[in-house]
Copies of this chain bind each other. A is one copy, B any other.
């Protein structure tokens, strides 16, 4: 069966994800349409990977439409722009790190036109996308997931986590756990720095002990101790994700004093350090709060 896939949003993640789709449809005899707000980027993608640059209305013809945009607000915009053009029987797969409440609203709107919706955010970073090794956490109907599972060419692991919105909820919690683990490690290292402990030695020990986490093993050694803070994922987007986690907590009438405190601190970091900085630069606020450097 020849499939037409569409991919909306060729950012740091979307670009390599769409490349995997193009490779996949080339092998299976289908087509991959790509759209980006800046058209030139779509043209470049087509030249490099054999996808087809499309105007927004054209993607309405696809069997499966993937979106990977900064926030749910941009997904709302493309949905509004596409209006009634989507065709019944299509599946919309939103890989944005979006809001569960938006997913439920969008799914309800699309259902009225006969279009199914899955929230399907990913983890693994641009490297994982380029290698086709992403993890996808899917919210929505399992039967719908089965209709598109073979199309998720960018994924090494696909996990169904619940109803519509559950994918976004798990993604927001995951990113916020990472944010907590990084911030706490920053606090601990700043305190140790003030007592004269060598931080490379401290991290060496922690990474051989129970305090280890992804930030102590990778982010802090590579981005903070080096003072490089290379921008691969913006601080403002992580603050947004932590805010979504706070919404998940609030909507569930849950009690999460640590997650919500940390969400507040990342919001503070985005305001005071800059939303465009790398997310690891949140620790610059920890440094200011402690009058010391983590190096």
Residues A89-114 near B (CB distance < 8 A): 100
* A191 close to B252 (CB less than 8 A): yes
| Residue-wise interface mask of A (158-188) relative to B, using a CB-CB cutoff of 8 A (1 in contact, 0 not) | 0111110110011001111110110111011
A191 and B256 form a contact (CB under 8 A): yes
A71 at the interface (CB under 8 A from B): no
Q: Which of B165, B209, B247, B289 contacts A174 (CB 8 A)?
A: B209
Task: Assess A195 versus B178: contact at CB under 8 Å? Given A211-B214, A257-B264.
Answer: no
Q: Are B254 and A265 in contact (CB under 8 A)?
A: no
- Asked whether B211 lies within 8 Å of A252 as measured between CB atoms, the reply is no
Binds B, one of A4-12, A26-34, A55-63, A199-207: A199-207
Q: Among the interface residues A157, A177, A216, A292, which one has the most CB atoms of the partner chain B within 10 A?
A: A177
Task: Give the number of chain A interface residues (Cβ < 8 Å).
Answer: 81
A137 interfacial contact with B, CB 8 Å? yes
Partner of A290, one of B209, B251, B271, B290: B271
Asked whether, in the complex, the Cβ of B255 is within 8 Å of the Cβ of A202, the reply is no
Of B160, B176, B258, the residue contacting A201 (CB under 8 A) is: B160
Shortest distance in angstroms between A83's beta carbon and chain B's nearest beta carbon?
A: 22
| A contact set with B: CB distance below 8 Å | 100, 123-124, 135, 137, 157, 159-163, 165-166, 169-170, 173-178, 180-181, 183-185, 187-192, 194-198, 201-202, 204-206, 208-214, 216, 243, 245-265, 267-268, 271-272, 288-292
B204 and A210 contacting across the interface, CB-CB below 8 Å: no
Residue pair B272, A289 in contact (C-beta under 8 Å):
yes
Q: Which residue on B lies nearest to A254, using beta carbons? A: B191
For A159, list chain B residues within 8 Å (CB). 201, 204-205
- For A261, list chain B residues within 8 Å (CB): 257-258, 260-261
Q: Are B183 and A258 touching (Cβ within 8 A)?
A: yes
